[in-house]
Amino acid sequence: MEQGRIIKLIGGLYTVLDDNGKTHVLKPRGLFRHEKQNPRVGDLVAFDTDLIQEVITRKNLLLRPSIANVDQAFIINGCVNPAFSFFLLDRFLVHTEKAGIDAVIVVNKIDLLSEDKLRRLRDDLLYYERYYDVIYVSAKDPKSLEPLRQRFSDKVNVFAGQTGSGKSSILNALNPDLSLKTQPISKALGRGKHTTRHSELIPFENGFVADTPGFSKLDFEGIVPEDLPEYYKDFFERSALCKFRGCQHINEPGCAVKKAVKDNEVPRNRYENYLRIHEEISQTKIRY
């Protein structure tokens, strides 16, 4: 059997790249019964002539977008069209934290923001800089993208983010040969579609970058509410001081997170979005 990495999945057909740089279009063997075991983009697999026979144990699995064996996720945010959304950023961070993947926060389209508004956004994001790298870029200014390229190296990188935030545009600016399809957001949403339809790992520098379809809605399937506090680095580091172990930071007395919000050490907005997400996950019916 040969080995390779799944770089694309379209209509039930997997494209697998082998060590010699050759691609193979394959079906999965019949028996990956459990959804969790289904081969995903990013998986290392063993295959024979036309079937994927085995998925090699994963290092991790990002659920939204669904990609395995990720070293680093870049959360691409628009700051104008679409406007910057802390709610959406926090939602993406829940997914990367759950998967145990390093996240880099990218603010794109800064060419469209007045100096004043950019300064305010930077101030609001300072809090996040304690926990994550935050990079400001414009796909229209290739020089601004160099810090991104430098972080890629030999890793498996994923571009995630809202539809229209500029994921494909940034990749095109980094490598014009890619010619990925991009589209003004008004047109894309008018058609009710994401411009990028499938996740695809693109060989880049010595590793990969995955361009992925944006989300207009990002759900939390596979995440249980009791675990949510662990996916907030800032809450987690304070939780040792909460009176109760397993504190959900909601109604419990002696909660260190709620105190930190009150003392303006944690942005109120982030905490309120946490409550919304907790509520949302709690109300999602568990599907078996």
Ligand X SMILES: Nc1nc2c(ncn2[C@@H]2O[C@H](COP(=O)(O)OP(=O)(O)OP(=O)(O)O)[C@@H](O)[C@H]2O)c(=O)[nH]1
Residues that bind ligand X (CB under 6 A): 108-109, 111-112, 138-140, 161, 163-169, 182-185, 188, 194-196, 213-214
The distance of closest approach from Cβ of residue 167 to Mg ion in the complex, given in angstroms and rounded to an integer, is 5
Which amino acid is residue 204, in one-letter code? F
When CB distances are held under 5 to 8 angstroms depending on the partner's kind, the choice from ligand X, Zn ion, Mg ion, none that residue 112 binds is: ligand X
Q: Could you say which of Mg ion, ligand X, Zn ion, none residue 67 binds, taking C-beta under 5 to 8 angstroms by partner kind?
A: none
By beta-carbon proximity to Mg ion, the closer residue of 108 and 248 is 108
Nearer residue to Zn ion within complex by CB, 157 or 248: 248
17 binds, among Mg ion, Zn ion, ligand X, none (CB under 5 to 8 A by kind): none
Residue 63 identity (one-letter amino acid): L
Site of tokens 């998967």: 99
Complete DSSP assignment for 17-44: EETTS-EEEEEEPTT--SGGGS--TT-E
**Contacts for 30 with CB less than 8 Å, ≥ 6 apart:** none
Q: CB of residue 183 vs Mg ion: minimum separation in angstroms? A: 8
User: Interface with Zn ion by CB under 5 A: which residues?
Assistant: 242, 247, 249, 255, 257
Residue 63 or 281: which CB sits closer to ligand X?
63
Determine the Cα–Cα distance for residues 189 and 185; give it in Å rounded to an integer: 6
Distance separating alpha carbons of residues 162 and 88, to the nearest angstrom: 8
By beta-carbon proximity to Zn ion, the closer residue of 43 and 234 is 234
Helices H / strands E in the chain, number of each: 8, 13
Which of Zn ion, Mg ion, ligand X, none interacts with 247 (beta carbon under 5 to 8 A by kind)? Zn ion
Distance in angstroms (rounded) separating the CA atoms of residues 128 and 130 = 5
In sequence order, what are the residues at sequence separation of 6 or more whose Cβ sits closer than 8 angstroms to the Cβ of residue 1?
46, 47, 48, 53, 54
177 φ/ψ angles, rounded to the nearest 5 degrees: -65, -20
CB of 164 to Mg ion, least distance (A): 8
d(CA 217, CA 66): 14
| Three-state secondary-structure class, residue 4 | strand
Closer to Zn ion by Cβ: residue 5 or 278 = 278
- Which is nearer to Zn ion, 88 or 266 (by Cβ)? 266
Mark 170-209 with x for binding to Mg ion (rule: CB under 5 A) and - for no binding.
-------------------------xx-------------
**By beta-carbon distance, which residue lies closest to ligand X?**
214
Q: Which residues pair with 111 in a beta bridge?
A: none
Least Cβ distance, residue 264 to ligand X (angstroms): 33
Selection from Mg ion, Zn ion, ligand X, none that 255 binds (CB < 5 to 8 A by kind) is Zn ion
Whole-angstrom Cα distance, residue 287 to residue 189?
30
DSSP 113: S
Considering the complex, state which of residue 204 and residue 271 has its C-beta at the smaller distance from Mg ion: 204
Region 115-174 residues binding Mg ion, contact defined as CB under 5 A: 167-168
Q: Rule CB under 5 A: which residues touch Mg ion?
A: 167-168, 195-196
